[in-house]
Structure formats: structure tokens, C-alpha cells
Amino acid sequence: MTSPASPAASPAHNLLGLELLRFACAISVLVWHYNHFYVVGTTHVGFEVTQQPLYALLKPFYEAGWLGVQAFWALSGFIFFWKYAQPVSQGQVSAWRFAVLRFSRLYPLHLLTLLAVAGLAWWYRQLQGSDYVYQYNDWPHFALQLAMASDWAGRSEWSFNGPIWSISIEVLVYALFFVLCRLGLTRWWQALGLVGVAAVVYALKLTPHPIVLCVFFFYLGALTHLAHEALLKRPRGQQHAVLALGLLAVAAGTALVASGKLRPMFYVALLTPVALLVLLDWVQPSSKAAVHWINKLGNTTYASYLLHFPLQLLLACLSRALGWHWPLHEPVWLLAYLLTVFGLASLVYQAVEMPAQTWLRQRLDKR
């Protein structure tokens, strides 16, 4: 994270709890996609979720790890309201500058992984005679991927590096966020109204388009930011009381979701804001080493999200080409997979993401 653009925003070192939650969300998605190792072509072969390594410990991630995406959206809403809401509404950040900041952050690694997956997908097709996991790997979908618009139509025709779908939807919400902020719609009741409208549209099933859930969770994160700012102005005892009530609500929600009486989606909508507030309050390390490592973990999340499928596709190609078989049921394999992804992500963040981001901003952000 960088310094906030708004003087009233919280100092960046006080937001380390966000980095830990981002890392947990990344773990969630990676474990959820562990099932890809059992795919031959586009069909799962021999996959039984309860037999996966460390299932007892990681059951929520194996069963509903896809909800890490929704939590990511809420985190984005929190960060964007912290960093951009007031500067954009006051005209301090132009549309061009906002677009450059987002493009330079997201696009370089997206392009790199897209090209890598395109090459590996061709190799896998030569070996297997079909595509791997995602089957819409043709030129029209490649063009949509190049524009980071793969799921704008809401068709769920996942292609190439499939996980990018959530980023393509979030890009649309970034544009909505900028327009609404420029119109001055940054107050808590306005954010609550957007959350309410999205909730009604989702509940009534008026459209299956994923932008509905993205708006809901993004502005849920925005509301959490506004609640956090308000909470910081209250006496410490009141802060503790609010956090205690939040934890009690999460405990009740945990019992309900475990008994099947609460949908996991609704549970994540409860858990994420509470986790944000609690982690922001509790994670205040004084050690520079702790701050460094927490930031390092947070910095791996975007790269890990885009790198894990190319890595799985590479291993699938090697398996088909060389006849290798992976010990998928062994905890050591799962741990090796996670460590490899995050290790690569850390290297890519330093060697690719940051240099490309700096280079693009120096050349595009002249205003």
C-alpha cells in the first residue's frame, strides 16, 4: 500500500490487517482450485473432496473457497474508499490518472499470464486433443481477454486464464465507483443504498450478471471503511464493544452455516466486514520485520491469483508429455503447490509487476 491521497484517511501502516485478509482470500481461492489437478481435458477424474490433503483443516476452502473472490471485492471497496473517494469527488484525481493507476497495476501481469496460458493451452491441446479446464480458448475470447473484458457480457464462458473473470467484472465497478464519486455520492447512506439495491436485484434474480454481486461486496467494503473511520473517533471502550458484538454475530453465523441454515454467500457478507474491523484493530505490529513480512504476503495476492492456473496447466502438460503422476492426496504436495505459487508470486511482484507499473506510470501519467 502507498500513502493515502486523503489527509483524513488512516495511515497505511495501520491497515496491515487488510494484507493478512487478502492473503487468506488468496489461500482460499488456491485451495478451491486444487481440484484442477484432477481434471483431464475438461472432466474431473477421481476427485473426491473429502479425500483431499488436510481436508479437516481446510474444509471451508475446499467446499466454498470460491467465495474468496467476493471477499476480495469487499477489500477493494474498502481500499478504494480509503484512498480515492474524497480525492476523486474533489476533482484531485482525473479520470485519466485513475485509469492509468488501475491499468498499470492490473494489465501487465494479466497480459503476461494470458500469453503464457495461450501457449500452454496450445501445447496441452496437442497432447490431449482437448482444452484443459476452460474450453473457450478461441480468437474471439482471446480478443476479449486482451481487452480485460472476458466476462462483461456475463456469459460465464471462461477462457484461457479463467480466474481473470473476477478482475474483468471489477474493472466495470471501478468505472462506476469513479463516476459516482465524481457526482459526490460518497456518504454512508448512499453506499448503503447501493448495497441494498444490489441485494434486492440478487434476491429477486432479476439478472444473473456477476456485476450485481461485485457492486454489493464492493460497497459493503466501502461501508466497512466508513464504519472504521467513525469507530476510530469513538472511545476505546465503545470500539471494543462493537468488535465484541461483531465477533458474536460471526460466531452465530458460523453455527448457522455449519448446520446448513445459512448460505455461505450470506455468511461471507457477514464475516468479511467483521474480519476487516477486527484485523485492523488487532494487527498493529511494532516490529519492522513483522511489518515487512505482512506487506510481503499482501503483495503476493494478485500475482498468486493470476499465476496459479498457468502453473497447474504447465504441470498438466508435463504430466501428459512425460507420464508423470503427482501425489495429489499427500499434504506435502498441497504445501509444495502453495509455496511454489506464493514464491513465484513474490518474485513476479518484484521483477515484473512493480517495474512495469512504474514504467507505465512514468510514460502515461503526464497530467
What is the value of pTM for the model shown? 0.94
Of 280, 264, 195, 235, which is closest to residue 1 (Cα–Cα)? 280
- As a whole number of angstroms, the distance between CA 304 and CA 196 comes to 32
Residue-level pLDDT at 10: 44
Task: Give burial (CB, 10 Å; 0-12/13-18/19+) of 184.
Answer: exposed
Radius of gyration of the chain (CA): 21
Each residue's pLDDT expressed in tens, for the chain with a length of 367 residues = 333 333 334 445 578 999 999 999 999 999 999 999 999 988 989 899 999 999 999 999 999 999 999 999 999 999 999 999 999 999 999 999 999 999 999 999 999 999 999 999 999 999 999 999 999 999 999 999 999 999 999 877 899 999 999 999 999 999 999 999 999 999 999 999 999 999 999 999 999 999 999 999 999 999 999 999 999 999 999 999 999 999 999 999 999 999 999 999 999 999 999 999 999 999 999 899 999 999 999 999 999 999 999 999 999 999 999 999 999 999 999 999 999 999 999 999 999 999 999 999 999 986 5
> Can you give the residue ranges of every domain in the chain?
12-364
Query: Torsion angle, CA of 244/250/254/257, rounded to 10 degrees?
Result: 150
If you search the block for the grid coordinates 473511520, which residue do you land on? 229
Of 162, 159, 163, 190, which is closest to residue 177 (Cα–Cα)? 190
- As a whole number of angstroms, the distance between CA 288 and CA 215 comes to 36
- As a whole number of angstroms, the distance between CA 185 and CA 165 comes to 27
Residue-level pLDDT at 32: 97
Residue-level pLDDT at 142: 97
Name the maximum alpha-carbon separation found in the chain: 65
Long-range contacts of 7-13 (CB under 8 A, 24+ apart): 8/86, 8/229, 9/82, 9/83, 9/86, 10/82, 10/228, 10/229, 10/232, 13/291
> Quick one: cell of 111?
497480459
Query: Torsion angle, CA of 106/112/117/120, rounded to 10 degrees?
Result: -170
> Quick one: cell of 149?
473484458
Q: Judge contact between 331 and 86, C-beta under 8 A.
A: no
Residue-level pLDDT at 331: 97
